[in-house]
């Protein structure tokens, strides 16, 4: 009996060694809200993608100049790029998102030519890899400085928000029926704030009041006046992100032209 028990204990120990440390959990210092949004957005994009047939993938997306194939390739390779930033933050060795803008564009163009099954796998596998990297990051690594594709130096925790924007907004861009109305209220408000912050950094923010009919307070108030645009938070955010205007009214007549978001 003792010999059998010892052998069983040894077998269990060997199994634990093969399986590793077990379940992975985000570090205490991780950006938990943004990670939850990113993971929910990944599921949102996956559902939107699953509703499209293989033939549908070759149609135009709602994003001007992009077909669905290019958009899906972009979302997949974006996860790979953010994974490289995680490597940078974890190891301290510089590992940029892309070697150059040309390399990024070529990668997307090449990915858009993949067979439908491979294109779907690119999205699925790349998001799993990114999620594993996030789960394995120690707490202090989340505050390591990395550089985005736009040249901004940010803490690594920013990758969770960067991915959140990608998956939620591009799920709508697929044009399969998902809309800004499907985005959670808190995330909608954060997206609107992100657009305003991007304009502020570039010195392009227009004097504009955004009066959301389904919020207790405006999404933004223009100091010293300026046009006031009214609509639901979903419709206002759609417009701010450059996805077109629907059901909005402006007290100055026509809606003003907006700077680009990203």
Which band of pLDDT confidence, cut at 50, 70 and 90, is reported for residue 197?
A: very high
**DSSP category for residue 139:** G
Identify the pLDDT of residue 9. Answer: 76
Q: Which fold has domain 185-250?
A: Nonspecific Lipid-transfer Protein; Chain A (3.30.1050)
**CA-wise closest residue to 207 among 258, 245, 242:** 258
Greater model confidence, 10 or 131: 131
- Measured CA to CA, the distance from residue 119 to residue 49 in angstroms comes to 11
- Measured CA to CA, the distance from residue 8 to residue 4 in angstroms comes to 6
- Measured CA to CA, the distance from residue 95 to residue 183 in angstroms comes to 32
Phi, psi of 86 (to 5 degrees): -65, -40
Which band of pLDDT confidence, cut at 50, 70 and 90, is reported for residue 1?
A: very low
**DSSP category for residue 253:** S
Which band of pLDDT confidence, cut at 50, 70 and 90, is reported for residue 7?
A: confident
Instruction: Write out pLDDT tens, residues 13-67.
Output: 765 666 566 667 899 999 999 999 999 999 999 999 999 999 999 999 999 999 9
To the nearest 10°, report the CA torsion of 167, 168, 174, 180.
Answer: -170
Domain ranges in the chain?
32-178, 185-250
**CA-wise closest residue to 164 among 262, 250, 77, 79:** 79
Mean pLDDT of the chain: 93
Asked if 255 and 239 touch (Cβ cutoff 8 Å), the reply is: yes
CB count within 10 Å of CB 19 equals 8
Phi, psi of 75 (to 5 degrees): -65, -40
Packed helices 158-173 and 68-91: angle between N→C axes, nearest 10 degrees: 170
**Tokens standing for residue 46:** 């996956």
Q: Which CATH number describes the domain made up of 32-178?
A: 1.20.120.450
Radius of gyration of the chain measured on its C-alpha atoms: 22
């Amino acid at each position: 009996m003792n010999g059998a028990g010892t052998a069983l204990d040894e077998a269990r120990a060997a199994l634990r060694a093969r399986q590793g440390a077990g379940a992975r959990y985000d570090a205490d210092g991780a950006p938990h809200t943004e990670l939850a949004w990113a993971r929910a957005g990944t599921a949102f994009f996956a559902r939107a993608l699953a509703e499209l047939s293989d033939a549908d993938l070759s149609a135009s997306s709602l994003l001007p100049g992009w077909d669905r194939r290019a958009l899906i390739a972009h979302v997949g390779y974006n996860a790979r790029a953010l994974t490289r930033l995680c490597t940078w933050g974890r190891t301290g060795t510089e590992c940029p998102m892309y070697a150059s803008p040309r390399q990024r564009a070529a990668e997307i163009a090449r990915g858009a030519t993949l067979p439908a099954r491979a294109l779907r796998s690119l999205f699925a596998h790349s998001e799993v890899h990114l999620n594993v990297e996030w789960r394995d990051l120690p707490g202090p690594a989340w505050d390591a400085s990395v550089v985005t594709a736009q040249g901004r130096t940010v803490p690594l925790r920013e990758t969770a928000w960067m991915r959140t924007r990608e998956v939620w907004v591009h799920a709508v861009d697929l044009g399969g029926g998902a809309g800004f109305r499907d985005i959670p209220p808190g995330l909608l408000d954060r997206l609107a704030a992100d657009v305003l912050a991007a304009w502020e950094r570039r010195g392009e923010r227009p004097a504009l009041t955004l009066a959301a009919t389904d919020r207790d307070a405006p999404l933004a108030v223009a100091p010293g006046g300026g046009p006031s645009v009214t609509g639901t938070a979903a419709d206002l955010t759609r417009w701010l992100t450059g996805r077109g205007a629907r059901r909005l009214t402006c007290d100055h007549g026509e809606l003003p032209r907006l700077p680009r978001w990203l």
